[in-house]
Structure 1
Amino acid sequence: MSAAFQKLLVSAVLVMFGGVVSSNVAFAEKKYDPGASDDEIKIGSIMPYSGPASSFAVIGKTEEAYFNKVNADGGINGRKLRFISYDDAYSPPKSVEQVRKLVESDEVLLLFSPLGTAGNIAIQKYLNHKKVPQLFVASGATRFGDPKNFPWTMGWQPNYQTEARIYAKSILTNQPNGKIAILWQNDDAGRDWVKGLRDGLGEKAGMIVAEKSYEVSDPTVDSYVATLFDSKADVFVAFSGPKASAQAIKKVAEFGWKPAFYLANISTSIGNVLKPAGLENSKNIISTDYLKDPTDPAWKDDAGLKAYDAFMDKYFPDGDKTNRNNVYGYSAAQTIVQVLKQCGDDLTRENVMKQAQGLKDFAPDMLLPGIKINTAPSDYFPIEQLQLEKFDGSTWLRFGDVIAGEVSR
């Protein structure tokens, strides 16, 4: 072998190994956008800690407590979570103000679990223009599952149209000749529910004989319930938030009205809604769920419930374990933690969205058996299954099969 050839061979080997080293360095390279570093991931949120929807505030408190648990366990891939959650008082102008602060001053990596339909609509275009993830929106409005028009926004819970279609199926089966009265919240969420019910009833939508909408700021819905009672309907559907739902349940009982009663699943908390309304007054109400009810004896030996109870005891001891809003916050927080784990060392906003679009059969501790979280670039509805349930005076009892409802896209 000539000296010249040996020299050429050595050069080639060095180039090859140099390429491997260079490739490994590139592979190990960490990528960050604002809000992420070697030590920290900043997560922003808005929540109604005051105002007419403040009963939902415990969701944010539970999420913060869960992130404290994650940090105590070592963080995510060695990074601690910093949760910055502001009060928007359920006011869209305040939502915009607080989100701009989170993005432009606090420089959070992403927005997580911002609550409320109107507030999220108000910030949706801004966040998509800025290309900041608006992840796992705490609203079931279908517009938060529209990757074509809003690729940086994704919901989490089953959408309201799906839920309402399931009630329609139940009504058509059990009250096929019934007369339906509807109480609904006057916003996009309420309109989604009503559309889902009408679509589900199809050619029998004429069964709806009365409907009244209310404003979230209304001090009481008593007069609306009185009008619906006068319609002589034998089916009552309440597409309403916790405060209005508690008032409606109580008023229906005061009238001695005994309709088949369907209640939106955002308002099924025993501690927060049914107890204030009166447990006896709430008996036989029908709703849907996708989360385990901590009061249901069926889960007393369930590993997921035990994990939830242990978390609440240690990290949120003042919280009410029976409040489904705490279960919601715990489950949503587990989902965003999974997304961030999948991100590895690529903590760019683009990769956060990529990983959020790639959840496969993920099951937080408190999801009902048979329900899994699945997403895709064309599927921004993580949870699309529900199960009917009826309140027996002390707890919710599930019945029938888990139903995969149609989704309006």
Structure 2
Amino acid sequence: MKSSGLPACLALVASMFLGDAAAWAAAKQYDTGASDTEIRIGQTVPMSGPASAYGLIGRAEAAYVRMINAQGGVNGRRINLIQYDDAYNPPKTVEHVRRLVEQDEVLTTFQIIGAPANAAVQKYLNARKVPQLLVSTGAARFTDPKNYPWTTAFNPGFKSEAKIYAAYLLKEHPAARIGVLYQNDDQGRDYLNGLKEGLGDRARTMIVAEEPYELADPTIDSQIVKLRTSGADVLFAVTSPKFGAQAIRKVAQIGWKPVYIIDSNSAPSETLRPAGFDNARGIISATYVKDPTDAQWADDPGMKRFKAFMAQWMPGEDPNSGIAMYGYMAAKLLVHILGQAGDDLTRDNIMKQVTNIQGFDPDLMLPGITTATANSYKVNRQMQMMRFDGARWIRFGEIITDRSEAN
């Protein structure tokens, strides 16, 4: 009688193999937009239109993704970053985001740029339970997990930043007469409201004029003249780079010498260079990142990596661009989140990872500033004030942490 040991052994091996294969398959979890080989990510970017300066953010993020794919991708998967130009026009944002979700079938959106664009698609994405990941705005409505649990922001909060300026003015210029220039959208109104909240009861007497502008306006010259005529001796300007440069030039042209504060979005060289560095001398702002034009960071490892990236992957762009640096940082964080998600590439897990970031090297953020979340929808919540000396930004004061909101 022949032994049945070999068939039994083979059956045992087959059973073990099938069991391991089943466990291996079970360990991998995918939602629409993810597979063994690909992760599809969607984004709208103002490559054209009144905020086209921010198009460089999208170009930097696309270049960073190309670099990661050339290095083998994330956990062996290629990132397919699908970008559409919305021209900073919310109806176009809606059209393109619907296409990304319903036709391109992306796993998540990423870094949709601007408060108006994100506001236009926030309800839609949350209703579809598609992550609105690391949005490129600091408006308060984008860190509201109670009402929008699928939305997280990359930028520090606009209200919190404005409160930093309010505290500075109360301490250094308590008798200030403040004129405010602001973009007439969620971004501008958040900064204005944050300033008022920071000034408290003093806001009624300290703010003497408020002048909004629309993105479709050709210039803001008339608003600047009205603010000067109001008797304001402090100008707080909340603008995109294009209008920020216009404002700086106009203030210099009419010989106005206010204490001049600009929001952090207008602090990069893309605003100051066309405005004229001499015209920008003395302007105050706040930051959370290293200045790529500052020689003190020349030997900094993170800055060296950024400059090498620019040289190899964006050779036609300004290697000292603060806007490109922003895109680089956001894309690096995206890759970290995807890597942290491992083989569980579900939308639920993407949100779990972005609200529990661990072990991420901020690279280009100021010493002492961290990007870490623990059950938090705010990625960046620290800033430091700075003043432009005509050549570079000089930081002053302590790093300030936003502790005003639990999320």
Shorter-chain TM-score: which interval?
A: over 0.9
CA distance in 1 between counterparts of 2:144 and 2:358 reads: 19
CA deviation vs aligned residue, 1:233-278 (integer Å, no higher than 9, x gap):
11110011111111110111111111110001101111x1111111
CA distance in 1 between counterparts of 2:359 and 2:340 reads: 14
Q: Quote the residue 2:156 is aligned against.
A: 158
* Residues 4-403 of structure 1 aligned to structure 2 (within 5 Å): 21=19, 25=23, 29-205=27-203, 206-270=205-269, 272-360=270-358, 362-377=360-375, 379-403=376-400
Report deviation, 1:175.
0.7
CA deviation vs aligned residue, 1:328-386 (integer Å, no higher than 9, x gap):
00000011111000111111111111111111363321111111112233x21110000
Residue identity (%)? 50
CA distance in 2 between counterparts of 1:209 and 1:357 reads: 40
Q: Aligned with 2:261: secondary structure?
A: strand
CA distance in 1 between counterparts of 2:274 and 2:104 reads: 39
Q: How many residues align?
A: 393
Runs of 5+ consecutive residues of structure 2 not aligned to the other structure: 1-11
Matched to 1:257, the amino acid is W
CA distance in 2 between counterparts of 1:321 and 1:144 reads: 30
CA distance in 1 between counterparts of 2:217 and 2:358 reads: 42
CA distance in 2 between counterparts of 1:381 and 1:372 reads: 12
CA distance in 1 between counterparts of 2:83 and 2:92 reads: 13
CA deviation vs aligned residue, 1:180-222 (integer Å, no higher than 9, x gap):
1100110111110011100111121120111100001101000
Q: Aligned with 1:102: secondary structure?
A: helix
Under a length normalisation based on structure 2, what TM-score does the superposition of the two structures give?
0.93
Report deviation, 1:313.
0.4
CA distance in 2 between counterparts of 1:22 and 1:310 reads: 43
Q: Aligned with 1:178: secondary structure?
A: coil
Matched to 1:67, the amino acid is V
CA RMSD of aligned residues (A): 1.9
CA distance in 2 between counterparts of 1:342 and 1:359 reads: 8
CA distance in 1 between counterparts of 2:76 and 2:342 reads: 10
Say if 1:294 and 1:159 are closer, same or farther in 2 by CA, change over 3 A.
same
Report deviation, 1:118.
1.0
Q: Aligned with 2:397: secondary structure?
A: coil
CA distance in 2 between counterparts of 1:26 and 1:278 reads: 60
Report deviation, 1:22.
6.5
Under a length normalisation based on structure 1, what TM-score does the superposition of the two structures give?
0.93
Judge which range, 394-403 or 356-365, deviates more: 356-365
Runs (4 or more) in structure 1 with deviation over 6 Å come to none
Runs of 5+ consecutive residues of structure 1 not aligned to the other structure: 1-13
Q: Quote the residue 1:11 is aligned against.
A: none
CA deviation vs aligned residue, 1:44-73 (integer Å, no higher than 9, x gap):
100101111111000000000000110111
